[in-house]
C-alpha cells in the first residue's frame, strides 16, 4: 500500500488519482484530483506538509520532501506544486513552491524556498539553488540554472498538454482502456 500515516497525519488523495503500487506517500500529503504519482516516487510529508494540485504528474523515482519548522523559520519549507505540472523522472523537490503549468525536466533538483511561478520550464538536469525566485514564461537550464530565454507560444501550450497527456495515461491505468 503506497499510503502511510505519520504520527497523526495521513495522506489525503483526491478523485481519479493514480498511485502506482511502488510509490510511497507518507504523512501530511494532499494530492488533488486527476493527478498521478508513478513508479518508485516518494512524497514524504513528515516534518512539514506537501500539497499537489489537480492534473499534476509526479514521475518515476522523484523524491519530494520538506524542511522542518524551527524558531528561526516558523513555517519551515513545505513543498507546494500547482495544477497541470509535469515533474519528470528522478527529480528532487525539497521544500519549494512550483506554480501552475510548469515542467520540471528529468533529473533536476529544486532546493528549499525556491519559487517557480506559473508557466516555467526547467531543463533536464538543472539545479535551482535555495531561495531563488524565477520569472514566469522562461526556460531555465544549467547547474546552477540560469534563464536561457523566453518560452515560445508552442512551448507555453506544451506545458499544459504534457500534464493532460499524463492525465489520459493515468486514466488508462485506472480504467484499463487505451486513450
- What is the predicted pLDDT for the residue at 15? 97
Residue 66: closest CA among 95, 91, 89: 95
Instruction: Identify the pLDDT of residue 178.
Output: 62
Look up the CATH number of domain 3-175.
Answer: 2.160.10.10
| Per-residue model confidence (pLDDT) at position 177 | 62
CA–CA distance, 102 with 112 (Å, rounded to integer)? 18
Cell numbers at residue 83, please? 495544477
Q: What is the pLDDT along the chain (179 residues), one digit of tens a residue?
A: 699 999 999 999 999 999 999 999 999 999 999 999 999 999 999 999 999 999 999 999 999 999 999 999 999 999 999 999 999 999 999 999 999 999 999 999 999 999 999 999 999 999 999 999 999 999 999 999 999 999 999 999 999 999 999 999 999 999 966 65
d(CA 124, CA 108): 6
**pLDDT value at residue 1:** 65
Q: Is 125:140 a contact under the CB 8 Å cutoff?
A: no
R_g of the chain, CA atoms, integer Å: 15
Q: Where are the domains of the chain?
A: 3-175
CA 22 to chain centre: 17
Measured between alpha carbons, how far is 76 from 47 in angstroms, rounded to an integer?
Answer: 9
Amino acid at each position: 500500500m503506497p499510503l502511510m500515516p505519520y504520527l497523526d497525519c495521513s495522506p489525503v488523495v483526491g478523485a481519479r488519482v493514480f498511485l502506482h503500487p511502488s510509490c510511497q506517500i507518507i504523512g501530511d500529503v494532499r494530492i488533488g484530483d486527476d493527478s498521478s504519482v508513478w513508479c518508485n516516487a516518494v512524497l514524504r510529508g513528515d516534518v512539514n506538509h506537501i500539497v499537489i494540485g489537480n492534473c499534476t504528474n509526479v514521475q518515476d523515482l522523484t523524491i519530494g520532501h520538506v524542511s522542518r519548522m524551527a524558531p528561526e523559520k516558523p513555517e519551515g519549507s513545505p513543498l507546494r506544486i500547482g495544477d497541470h505540472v509535469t515533474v519528470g523522472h528522478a527529480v528532487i523537490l525539497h521544500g519549494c513552491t512550483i506554480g501552475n503549468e510548469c515542467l520540471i525536466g528529468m533529473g533536476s533538483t529544486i532546493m528549499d524556498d525556491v519559487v517557480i511561478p506559473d508557466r516555467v520550464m526547467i531543463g533536464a538536469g538543472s539545479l535551482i539553488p535555495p531561495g531563488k525566485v524565477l520569472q514566469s514564461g522562461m526556460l531555465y537550464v544549467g547547474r546552477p540554472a540560469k534563464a536561457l530565454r523566453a518560452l515560445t507560444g508552442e512551448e507555453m501550450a506544451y506545458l499544459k498538454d504534457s500534464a493532460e497527456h499524463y492525465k489520459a495515461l493515468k486514466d488508462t491505468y485506472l480504467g484499463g482502456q487505451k486513450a
